[in-house]
Amino acid sequence: MSIQKTFKLGGDLEINRLGYGAMRITGEGVWGPPKDHDGAIKVLKRAVEIGVNFIDTADSYGPYVSEELIAEALAPYKAGVVIATKGGLCRVGPNKWLPVGRPEYLEQEALMSMRRLKVETIDLWQLHRIDAKVPVEESLKPIVKLQKAGKIKHIGLSEVTPAEIEQARNVADIVSVQNEYNIGQRKSEATVEYCDKHNIAFIPWFPVAAGKLAKEGGPLDTAAKQHNATVSQLSLAWLLHRSPVILPIPGTTSIEHLEENFKSLDLELSDSEWQSLEAAAK
C-alpha cells in the first residue's frame, strides 16, 4: 500500500513528510560547533537538493550552532522550504538541558532565532518542553503575541500528552507535536492517536528503532534484508505508514545516510507484513 508523501502543516504549508532533524550537526553532547563544519553545510545543502523541504532545529542545539549553520547553508531559502525551531530548553553544558518557560525568556529566544535563521517569520516555533514551574498558557502568551505580529506563522509543542495539548489549545492553535516515538518505543501512542484525530502533525524524534529489535538477526533486520533495505529505512517507512500526520525527521552528518533515509518514502510493505513487524516489536 502506497503512502501519502506530503502533509499540509497548519493546513497551508505543504511539505514532504520525510524531513531532516538538525540536532546532530553540532558538537559532542549537542554542544559547540561540529567537528566538520564544511561537511555539515554540504549535508544541509544536499538535503534540499534531494527534496527535503522540512528542517527541524532548536535554539538549544549548540546552543545556537544548528540555527546558524542552517542559515549559512540555505539562506535565502528556496521557495517551499519550511524551517521549524524550538525554544524552552536552556543549555548549561554538554548533554545538559534545563526547561525554562518564563514568558520573557521565550519571547527573547524566539526573536533571536529569527535573527540567527535570517528569517522575518519563523514557519513553526515549538515549545521544547513545558516548564513545571510555569503554566503552559503563560509560556505561550508571548509566542501568540509574536504570531499575531507576523513573526511566527505556526506554533507547536514537544514531549506532551493529549491533556497537555488540550491545555495549550486554550490559548494557541497547536499545529504540531514532537515526541519520542518509533516502532520499538511507543509510549506516545495516545498522543499519536490524538494528533491523527485532530490533523496535528506528529514529529517523532529518535525515529529509528534501536536495541534488540534492530540488532543483526532481529525482526527489523530480517525484514529489511527481505526488502533489500536497511533497518533505518524500514523504521522510517513504518512511521510513514503508521499515520499520514507523522513527519519523521531523521538526522545525520552523512550525505550517504541522508540519501538512504530519503528512499524510505518509496519502501512498501503489505499490511500483513507491517502487522507482523509491530507484533514482533511489542
Distances from the Cα of 99 to the Cα of 64, 132, 156, 195, angstroms: 16, 8, 16, 24
Residue type, 103: P
The span from the CA of 190 to the CA of 181, in Å, is 11
Give the list of residues 6+ apart from residue 78 with CB closer than 8 angstroms, or none. Answer: 48, 53
Active site residue 194: no
CB 95, CB 30: distance < 8 Å: yes
Closest CA to 135 of 101, 107, 86: 101
In the chain, the largest separation of any two C-alpha atoms, in whole Å, equals 54
Q: Which of 20, 61, 181, 194 is catalytic?
A: 61
Closest CA to 158 of 207, 209, 203, 111: 203
The span from the CA of 279 to the CA of 251, in Å, is 27
Exposed (0-12), middle (13-18) or buried (19+): which is 21, by Cβ within 10 Å? buried
Closest CA to 55 of 38, 35, 69: 69
| Residues annotated as catalytic (active site), given as ranges | 61
